[in-house]
Amino acid sequence: MEFTDFLWMTCGIFLTLATFSFLYKDNPFYKFAEHLVVGVSAGFFVIILWHNTLVPNLFQKLEDGDWYMLWLNSSEWWYIIPALLGVLMWTRFSKEYSWVSRWPMGLYIGISTGIAIPLEMANRVNKQLHAMMVEIDWANFFGADGFDLLSTTSGLAQLIIFLGTVAGLIYFFFSKEHKGVFGGVAKFGIWILMIGFGASFGYTVMARVSLFINRMQDTKAWGLEAFNANDIANPNYGSQYQIVFWALTLFVVGYIVKEIMQHLKSKNA
């Protein structure tokens, strides 16, 4: 690893520590990282959308035209229309003409909602209903390999999935009072939903913990790099690596000591 790459890595570690410092309290380092990520992510997505969407979908379509002809001599000149409509969106900034922005907005919303209706029905509703309505495997009701209540492919699992989905949908149906048999099914539905929420919650926590482990592993890798203690020795290694490591460490320790002193001072006052 070259020294400039190590400096970039140090920058990442500093920002990691700055963000984690929020666990202690809101502080200038966290605020710095927070404001930086807002700007950098906005800039990042501007560039990604420009290069990956605007250029191929607009500029490349009009590239055989001439700017002084306003691209009207392009073979696909009609792509000027969405560009003009997009520009009309900017009339939002004007108090007098902001109503003009409703035209492109109307077109955008019309197309988007029109696309959404059949696609949502096909991809969410119909596909899920189709997957739900499988024939129950009565022959292997408790699993193919003998009695196994925790089998995910058994007829019992299929039955629970079917009944759980129906009951879950019934729980969300509020046009009829949840009483009697209907209320009982709705109750089963909320049980299934709560188990599902619990499992999803546990899964989310584990995903976040794995991110935390990843940040710690990166920090460890940075420390090893600073002392050339990785499995593969760094041919570019020099004392500057350790200087950077100790500079950041001293900085962090200094901030912690300052906070402790401040805390003790306020306690004694």
Partner 1 sequence: MKRQLPFLLVFLFGAFMVFQYYVPHESSEFVYEFLLDWVMIIGIFALALGIWSLYTVSVDKIRHKKENWAYSYVTLIGLFIMVVLGFTYKVGDSWGFYSVFVISLMTLLGFLIQTSVSKDKGLWLGLSGLSLVVALGIAFTDDSWGIAFMTSEGLSNTMFTNFADFVLTPILATMFSLLAFFIASAAYRAFRARNILATLLLIAAIIVMLRFNPYMPFGLPEYMAKTSNWLMNVPNLAAQRAIVIGIGLGIVATSLKVILGIERGYMGKG
Subset of 95-124 contacting partner 1 (CB under 8 A): 98-99, 102-121, 123-124
Pick 28 or 238: Cβ nearer partner 1: 28
Shortest separation between residue 251's beta carbon and partner 1, angstroms? 17
Contact status: 247 vs partner 1 (CB under 8 A) = no
Would you count residue 155 as binding partner 1 (CB under 8 A)?
no
Q: Mapped to the 3 state alphabet, what secondary structure does the chain carry?
A: CCHHHHHHHHHHHHHHHHHHHHHCCCCHHHHHHHHHHHHHHHHHHHHHHHHHHHHHHHHHHHCCCCHHHCCCCCCCHHHHHHHHHHHHHHHHHCCCCHHHHHHHHHHHHHHHHHHHHHHHHHHHHHHHHHHHCCCCCHHHCCCCCCCCCCCCCCHHHHHHHHHHHHHHHHHCCCCCCCCHHHHHHHHHHHHHHHHHHHHHHHHHHHHHHHHHHHHHHHHHHHHHHHCCCCCCCCCCCCHHHHHHHHHHHHHHHHHHHHHHHHHHHHHHC
Q: Is 142 among the residues that bind partner 1 (CB under 8 A)? A: no
Report the site for partner 1 in 213-232 (rule: CB under 8 A).
214-215, 218
Site membership for partner 1, residue 52 (CB under 8 A):
yes
87 binds partner 1 (CB under 8 A): yes
State the nearest-atom distance from the C-beta of 262 to partner 1, in Å.
Answer: 20
Residue nearer to partner 1 on the CB measure, 148 or 259: 148
**By CB under 8 A, is residue 2 in contact with partner 1?**
no
Least distance to partner 1, CB of residue 250, Å: 21
Query: Which listed range, 64-72, 145-153, 223-231, 255-263, lies at the site for partner 1 (CB under 8 A)?
Result: 145-153
* Of the residues 69, 72, 134, 195, which one makes contact with partner 1 according to CB under 8 A: 195
Sole binder of partner 1 in the list 72, 144, 205, 256 (CB under 8 A): 205
Cβ proximity to partner 1: between 190 and 248 the closer is: 190
Q: Which amino acid is at 258?
A: K
